[in-house]
Structure 1
Amino acid sequence: MTSRFRPRVMAAILCALTLAGVTALAGCGSSDASRGSKITLGFSAWPGWFPWQVAQEKGLFAKNGVDVELKYFESYTDSINALSSGAIDANSQTLNDTLSSVSGGAKLSVVLVNDNSTGNDKIIARDGITSVADLKGKKVAVEQGAVDHFLLLLALQEAHLTEKDIQLVPLVTDAAAAAFVAGQVDAVAVFAPFTSKALERPGSRPIATSAEFPGAIPDHLVTSAALTKDRPKDVQALVNTWFDTVKWIKENRAAAVEVMAKRGGVTTNDYNTYDAGTTIFTRQQNLDAFTPGVTPAHLDFQSNKIIDFLVGTGLAKARPSTDGLFEDKFVKAVPQ
């Protein structure tokens, strides 16, 4: 399984190939609205996105009058590229990856905040390392250019260190967790469910988590800009379905956890340990996030921080424009 946060360097390549080889497309990242009324919605391994499985199994898409083909991607990377190339209509993805795709030319709309990571992204260290400051000179595995790399840089900065003070070992997330358990590195930055794997190493412990950096890792429902423009009623139905699903989960917790744990390939006990580390957003929290502001809780502020990261690490050659990226009208129209 590839990482939820693998860098999107292939998105721009796929975009260029699509434009060169399929001249009928109006632009890379646009949805083919002529292919029928069904909407293909992608998602992958992250606790904040597994509620879509509940929505499908409990008939909540149909209840809201939208025909959805829910497509699960074992590779999160493939889901990002599928949305960027127009192969699917909507996807569940992080703000980092959305901005990276936009920098590569994709035309996208963020229409919903599913959640914020509030602890399910962790920096886990071996026995004898008790703080981020102790990482100086140590080997740290992380998926380079990914959100957990971003988390690592934030934690190092707080400890008055830089990336140059550690030995960075670039590995995709599942391989990074395995390398840590095998004793090949001193610490690792990973997300759930790979946190559970990393903590199998005797004596290991989290020394920093996303809970310490509120708003740094938001996760979203992202659609093609064409879908938002041409089929707003269907996008509204998707957003309405999300909030109906959150309500259903709250009222039927045990049944919902069984569905989500099965989709994630973990036990219900393991899944329950992820609960506090993923904060599912209410409608009001969505409205607050979409509102312009000057704290990490606001998407415009956080997007600028992430763009600094993307440009600074070379994942984006220039600062992508966020004009029109954040579409809050659908959350505003959700029945209360």
Structure 2
Amino acid sequence: MQKSKLKWLASLAITAGILGACGDEKQISQGKASNDYEITVGLSQSAGGVLVDIAHQEGYFEEENIEVNRVGFANSADGLNALQAGKIDVGLTFGTAGPLTFIANGSDFSIIGGHLEGGHPILTKKENAGQYTSLESYKGKKVGTIRIFTSDIVFRSALEDAGIDWKTDLEIIEFKTGSMLLEAVASGKVDVAISANSFYAQGVEMGLEAVAWSNDLQEGHVCCRVVTRSELLAEDDGEAYKRFLKAIIRAERKKIEDPEAAITAAKEYMNVDEEVINKIVNESHSHYSSDPSKEKVVQMWEQMKEIGYVENVDDIDVNDYVNIDLYEKALSELIEQYPDDSYYKEQLVRFNEQNI
């Protein structure tokens, strides 16, 4: 979106108005107000957004002549409500289940890229960790989760595939925020938490232990997608969003080659020591990928339908809500800019495999 049309967004990012509108969000940082395009990105208040943070630190946004303002939210629902209300332009770390649930309820969102695959821990007290050896172990337990958490979908789907009725064989208790969920486990109100990567370090500090990861239940499942309002992509043929994707594609590469860069980038707003930051941004189960992975998004949509998470959606073709064109254009431009660089060509091969 052109900057001349978006000056009001800068003021939203630096005033209490956007913070008061949704209750739990906080401003993470501001851009420099000197580029051709400007967008405001919503992400996790507790863990930021690794690829955006690296792109900001390394100057990739500046090189693409796009100013990116970052605003933090305590949970996905608040962030996606802000996106729908026009208070942010992009949601980055609000999962896959979250945007799909909003789409099921009538939101005209477009998924245009990715950020994270897998990486969500199932947490319990250390003294109880030995109780959880298989999905059968969850029978009769009180299981805490957050509705529209991607890990919630993965867990319920895995139970169903194993022939376990999550409605009757165990008790699922839903919480509003990740912090509330962890407190419930620590206090014994629930036996185990289906958590998220952004709360893993906090859980460890509270004496909790991971007994399994979402990747164990469904290998390669997608999580955080880059999502925006479809109407915004009509402005300048989505030029601002293509530039944004180019920057996070480059950031993905930087993280692969230099994991320490993610720690340095996160220091800007995370007031914890490097060891804790490292647990969040470089956890081995968390796979950061900017690819939209359309096939996996469609797979999760079908899972949500199968377990009754979304209903009365037979008239919705989820393919219409996954825009892969901008990502392909972003990769093609990078290949043209760096013709001797094999990395971007390899990403195009991956893209063609995951976005049929």
Could you tell me the TM-score, scaled by structure 1's length? Answer: 0.74
- For residues 1-336 of structure 1, what are the structure 2 equivalents within 5 Å? 37-45=37-45, 49-92=49-92, 93-117=94-118, 119-124=119-124, 126-131=128-133, 132-163=135-166, 164-172=168-176, 173-199=178-204, 205-212=209-216, 213-231=218-236, 232-274=238-280, 275=282, 276-281=284-289, 286=291, 289-290=293-294, 292=295, 298-309=296-307, 312-313=308-309, 315-319=310-314, 320-333=316-329, 334=331, 335-336=334-335
- Aligned-pair distance for 1:242? 0.7
| Aligned 8 A contact 2:50 2:262 in 1 | no
The 1:41/1:304 distance shift into structure 2, 3 A limit, reads same
Q: CA deviation at 1:272?
A: 2.5
Q: Relative to structure 1, is the Cα distance of residues 258 and 101 closer, same or farther in structure 2, using a 3 angstrom cutoff?
A: same
Change (3 A) 1:96 1:183: same
**What amino acid is aligned across from residue 285 of structure 2 in structure 1?**
G
Q: Name the stretch that deviates more: 62-71 or 299-308.
A: 299-308
| Secondary structure class of the residue paired with 1:277 | coil
In 2, Cα distance between equivalents of 1:264 and 1:277: 21
CA contact (8 A) 2:111 2:322 kept: yes
- Cα RMSD after superposing both structures: 2.8
Q: Aligned residue for 1:11?
A: none
* Greater Cα shift, 178-187 or 67-76: 67-76
Identify the structure with the greater helix proportion: 2
User: Could you tell which deviates more after superposition, 231-240 or 184-193?
Assistant: 184-193
Distance 1:46 1:242, change over 3 A: farther
1:83-119 CA-partner distances (Å, limit 9, x unpaired): 11222221113221111111222212111122211x3
How many residue pairs end up in the alignment? 286
| Counterpart Cα distance in 2 of 1:277 and 1:265 | 23
Structure 2 Cα separation of the partners of residues 121 and 146 of structure 1: 12
For residue 178 of structure 1, give the secondary structure of its aligned residue in structure 2: helix
3-state DSSP of counterpart to 2:224: strand
Contact kept in structure 1, 2:37 and 2:65, CA below 8 Å: no
- Using CA pairs below 8 Å that are at least 6 residues apart, which structure has the higher relative contact order? 1
* Equivalent position amino acid for 1:330 in 2: L
CA change 1:112–1:145 in 2 (3 A) is: closer
Query: 1:152–1:106: structure 2 CA closer, same or farther, 3 Å change rule?
Result: same
Distance in 2, Cα, partners of 1:58 & 1:78: 29
Q: 2 CA distance for matches of 1:62 and 1:252?
A: 20
When residues 322 and 142 of structure 1 are mapped into structure 2, their CA distance, relative to the original with a 3 A threshold, is same
Q: Which amino acid aligns with 2:70?
A: L
In terms of mean alpha carbon deviation, does 138-147 or 86-95 score higher? 138-147
* CA–CA separation in structure 2 for the residues paired with 1:167 and 1:301: 26
CA 1:60–1:188: 2 relative to 1, 3 Å: same
CA contact (8 A) 2:48 2:266 kept: no
Task: Tell me the percent identity.
Answer: 17
How many angstroms does 1:44 deviate by? 1.6
TM-score of the pair, normalised by structure 2: 0.71
Q: 1:180, 1:198 within 8 Å by CA — same for their partners in 2?
A: no
| Aligned-pair CA distance for 1:152 | 2.6
The answer (yes or no) to whether the contact 2:185–2:191 under 8 Å persists in 1 is yes
- TM-aligned CA distance change 1:78 to 1:238, over 3 Å: same
Q: Does the CA contact (< 8 Å) of 1:41 and 1:88 recur in 2?
A: yes
Q: Distance in 1 between matches of 2:76 and 2:65?
A: 28
Mapped contact 1:141–1:188 kept (Cα < 8 A) = yes
Quote the offset at 1:252 in angstroms.
4.5
TM-superposed deviation, 1:37: 4.6
Please tell me the residue identity of whatever aligns with 2:301: S
